[in-house]
Amino acid sequence: MQPNKLLINLSDTQSILSIAKRTIEIESKAIANLVDYLDDQFAEAVQHILECNGRVVVSGVGKSAIIASKIVATLNSTGTPAIFMHAADAIHGDLGTVQQNDVVICLSKSGNTPEIKALIPLIKLRKNKLIGITGNMDSILAKQADFTLNTFVEKEACPNNLAPTTSTSAQMAMGDALAICLLELRGFSRDDFAKYHPGGTLGKKLYLRVSDIASQNQKPKVSVNSSVKEVIVEISEKMLGATAVINEDKVVGVITDGDIRRMLKKYDNISTLTAKDIMTQNPKSVTKDTLAVKALELLQEKGITQLLVLDGDEYHGVVHIHNLINEGIL
């Protein structure tokens, strides 16, 4: 097969950027126009989903099916149980996906695709509420749906006005609008979000606490009367760049690598010095229940690399900025 003849010189940066900018402008204008199409039916659809005792079953064919899958993922992650059902598979055995209390959302630019037309009466027969997301308000889907959400676009970003681009962007934006309305009306919080996103950096920012990190580190500590040699050995062996200074089981200070360097610069004779002579009093600390991301903010604000972790008055350990980097927090 011969490669397609290029219509532009690939070295022509301005031409390439012009096409990209035109595409984004067309799609962004189409999405902005959706604001004018929102009406009472949208609000009623949201209210019905909110009151629904079942799930949201989202269906479509072709590119609309891909967008339907994305909408399902967004709904599930923001507190609204949802499941994807391909419209073609639905009319060939998968209609059992739809349960008695479920609400069905069908996506179709034309609203007249054969699979959607075949699926609509089956949904109606089962007495499930149907929400249509379509760009054709004269279509079968628009007329038969209990609630119709208008995603009309004037043209696709494709120069031939064929490849689904602008229309799928509009569908996705409408799905996001549904999901965010439901999220806010449910009072879905950051803590709720963390429960649905326990993995990855996002989840860690929402649930990982400094105690989870400090418990994996060694626990450097010296007494106020420890010699400088003992302090240096403790810092070196525990490999956290610092050690807590303890007096009668309470933290009274911290000694860091920086404190050691400043001591060497200040004193010619260090043989008589002890931990209390070189420690920094009132060290920066956090409670063990502090979120790791909050600890990071404090480290950045103070321009330091480690924090002591406390459990009440009890010394719990150290969290280092490298720990946060390794966890993907930074």
Which residues make beta-bridge pairs with 133? 107, 149
The residue among 224, 254, 229 whose CA lies nearest residue 242 is 254
Distance CA 1, CA 210 (A): 59
| 86 known ligand binder | yes
Task: Tell me if 257 sits within 8 A of 242, measured CB to CB.
Answer: yes
C-alpha 204: how far from chain center = 10
Q: Which DSSP symbol is given to 309?
A: E
CB 80 within 8 A of CB 179: yes
Single-letter amino acid, residue 62: G
Angle between helices 257-266 and 228-238 (to 10 degrees): 150
Neighbour-count burial of 223, counting CB atoms closer than 10 A to its CB (0-12 exposed, 13-18 middle, 19+ buried): middle
* Cβ-based neighbours of 36, under 8 Å, separated by 6 or more: none
Q: Which residues are annotated as a binding site?
A: 86
Annotated binding site for Zn(2+): 86
